[in-house]
Chains A and B, each alone.
Chain A
Amino acid sequence: MNAPRTAWLFLTPALLVLGVFFLLPVIGALGLSLTDYDLYALADIHNLRFVALHNYGALLQRPLFWSALGHTVYFVAVGVPLSMVTSLGAALLLNSPLARCKPFFRTALFAPVVTTVVAVAVIWRYLFNTRYGIANFVLGHLGLHPIDWLGDPHWAMPAIILFAVWKNFGYNMIIFLAGLQAIPPELYEAARIDGASAWRQLRHITLPLLAPTLLMVSILTVAGYFQLFAEPYVMTEGGPLQSTTSVLYLMYDEGFQWWNLGEASAVAFLLFVIMFAVTAVMLRLARRSASFEGDAA
């Protein structure tokens, strides 16, 4: 048996780092969000006042907060399903017994995940260029009109979503692939003998058995997509007409461009509460539908 003292010695460095640089600031953020910490307080702490929930009340009445939340929800609501379907499709292709050269395809499809968001966002900014970009060149060949991808408030967010799906789908693809490989091949064997089509095999074997993975992946992806920041920062600077200003972009802007640290902390906390609520509801719904299916069976 080891002495408990040893265990604590081993834990100390990590707990110290997490405590000082994460736990303490998180508690601090709650406190900060109840004050009017701004440029004046930054210069002289005596200008700091306690304002209770005023920041939250003011935010909830600010159109910019609601539009930033709207853009973020748009990004999550369209981006997450699109990215998951792409990941699942790619994983199904890679898992097919007919496919060859799987390691090559897997690596190639995964490559965008490890790239630096800023660098690839810069690339995509040029691919989306109205005059010389490849995106419009391809559209032209399909007989479609060019799109002002990053300059048109209606198209900027779809462009960012396309970029995000390209960048991220490989990550979930790997997780789905592992999930698919865990499904016993005998099940498909039996289904084939019963004459089930590929589509019915997908509906009645693959998807139900993959359900726990799908749930976990969708919750993690939703949480990740809520943290939209670098993409609009590099590709559109939150524009045009603030159509790609996300909640985190607003937090960064308020906090580090205007030094309204109190209000920015309130933004951060609201985002946290919203993310928590959304993922909790997802978990709840998934559990309920799972228990319904259990009852029906």
Chain B
Amino acid sequence: MSPRLARALIHGLLIGGTLVALFPLLWMLSVSFMPPGAASALPPPLWPAHATLGNYRLLFLRAGMGRYLLNSLLVASAITLLSLACNLMAGYAFAKLRFAGRERLFRALLGALVIPAQVAMLPLFLLLKTIGLVDSYAGVIMPAMASVFGIFLVRQYARGIPDELLEAARLDGAGEWRIFSQIVLPLLKPVMVTLAIFSFLAAWNDFMWPLIVLTGQGHYTLPLGLASLAREHAQDTELMMAGSVITVLPVLLLFLAMQRYYLEGLLLGSVKG
């Protein structure tokens, strides 16, 4: 095969793949601006003949989408901040602080990764029911406040901090908390950003656990609200596409803005063992 032909073939495949990857998302955006019923035509229209914001207006004014959006923002932000605090402290301890049984405990945590989260969901529901946290924000937030993946990510990164730096600070009489907050945290900034994006995206996109623990629409996050709307309004293509845009756009934009950190974290996290 000549290099020119090979180059044409490679770019043809890349462009084709990109079209397949992006088409559903672009189609969603386009249909979300169509008036009701316009998408159900042959041939399937790719562009709104008369663009309208009616679907969005309907979703926010009538379908409670604004509430779901706020719920999602609240839940995802709280999970991000709290899990960041827990995972940073634990990851640093596993990487740099000495205590008996450190490696064994860490291996046990990694071993727990083989247990799928869903195994815990039924008893967790009963536990939260007993303490009255079913159908509350706390019920979604609290189980996500720490993660083995996050601890692992921080530990990998924190191991690069030189011990001499910490020892020197200790000799100068700095307390452990001051060492952590004033020396370690600034050094961990890149992994903090990575972990924050990961946690936020995971919390935003999570479906099964919120579906179980949130029983009333008042606390619904966007995926739950969208899924329940999709069952009610199965025929309203344009309305549902507007709902999908509201759900997907924030995370897509966040990813586009912070891509470098996200992809780095993905690679750091996948080098298990």
B122 touches A29 (CB 8 A): yes
Mask: chain B, 5-44; 1 = CB below 8 Å from A; 0 = not = 0110011011001101111110110010000000111111
Find the B residue at minimum CB distance from A260.
B122
A126 touches B39 (CB 8 A): yes
> Is A116 within 8 A of B116, CB to CB?
no
Secondary structure at chain B's binding surface: helix, strand, loop or mixed?
helix
The answer to whether B118 touches A268, judged by C-beta atoms less than 8 angstroms apart, is: yes
- Decide if A272 touches B115 in the complex (CB within 8 Å): yes
- B272 within 8 A of partner (CB): yes
Given A18-B148, A107-B256, does the pair A2, B223 have CB atoms closer than 8 Å? no
Given A21-B142, A28-B127, is A93 in contact with B6 using a C-beta cutoff of 8 Å?
no
Interface of A is mostly: helix
Rounded to whole angstroms, the CA-CA distance of A170 and B145 in the bound complex is: 27
* B156 contacts chain A at the CB level, 8 A cutoff: no
Cα distance, A275 to B90, chains bound together (Å): 29
CB within 8 Å of B: which A69-115 residues: 89-90, 93-94, 96, 98-100, 105, 107-112, 114-115
Q: Pick from B25, B176, B273: contact of A2, CB below 8 A.
A: B176
For A119, A122, A271, the residue with the greatest tally of chain B CB atoms inside 10 Å of its CB is: A119
The answer, among B44, B102, B122, B266, for a CB contact under 8 Å with A264, is B122
> Does B61 make an interface contact (CB < 8 A)?
no
Measured CA separation A119–B109 after assembly (Å)? 33
B interface footprint on A124-146 (CB within 8 Å = 1, 0 otherwise): 11110001111001000000000
A14 and B87 within 8 A (CB): yes
Interface size classification for chain B = 35 or more
Q: Which of B98, B126, B222 contacts A116 (CB 8 A)?
A: B222
Q: Does B195 contact A (CB under 8 A)?
A: no
Give every chain B residue within 8 A of A217 (Cβ-Cβ): 270
A191 within 8 A of B: no
Partner of A96, one of B10, B117, B119, B241: B10
Contact B247 A10 (CB under 8 A): no
- Is there contact, CB below 8 Å, between A223 and B247? no
Contact partner of B259 (CB less than 8 A), chosen from A107, A133, A251, is A107
CA distance A26 to B120 in the complex (A): 5
Contact of B97 among A6, A20, A137, A264 (CB under 8 A): A6
If A119-B223, A122-B243, A132-B42 touch, does A17 touch B145 (CB 8 Å cutoff)?
yes
B194: Cβ under 8 A from any A Cβ:
no
- How far in angstroms is the closest Cβ of chain B from A133? 7
In the complex the two chains form, is A132's CB within 8 Å of B116's CB? no
Most buried by B among A3, A108, A117, A137: A108
Q: Contacts of B44 on A, CB cut-off 8 Å?
A: 132-134, 137
Shortest distance between the CB of B125 and any CB in chain A (Å): 8
B residues within 8 A CB of A251? 118, 122
Residue pair B116, A271 in contact (C-beta under 8 Å): yes
Interface residues of B (CB under 8 A from A): 1, 3, 6-7, 10-11, 13-14, 17-18, 20-25, 27-28, 31, 39-44, 85-87, 89-90, 92-94, 97-100, 102, 109, 112, 114-127, 142-143, 145-146, 148, 151, 170, 176, 180, 201, 204-205, 207-208, 211-212, 222-224, 226-227, 230-231, 237, 240-241, 243-244, 247-248, 251-252, 255-256, 259, 262-263, 266-267, 270, 272-273
Q: List 6 A-B contacts (CB under 8 A).
A: A21-B127, A89-B13, A99-B14, A114-B201, A137-B44, A216-B273
Since A24-B123, A117-B223 are in contact, a sample of 15 more A-B pairs with Cβ atoms closer than 8 Å, ordered by chain A residue number, is A11-B90, A11-B94, A21-B120, A98-B7, A105-B14, A114-B252, A115-B248, A116-B226, A116-B251, A117-B205, A123-B25, A126-B39, A126-B241, A127-B24, A133-B44
Q: Which A residues have a C-beta under 8 Å from some C-beta of B?
A: 1-4, 6-8, 10-11, 13-15, 17-18, 20-26, 28-29, 31-32, 89-90, 93-94, 96, 98-100, 105, 107-112, 114-120, 122-127, 131-134, 137, 166, 170-171, 174-175, 178, 198, 216-217, 220, 223, 226-227, 229-230, 233-234, 237, 248, 251-252, 255-256, 261, 264-265, 268-269, 271-272, 275-276, 279
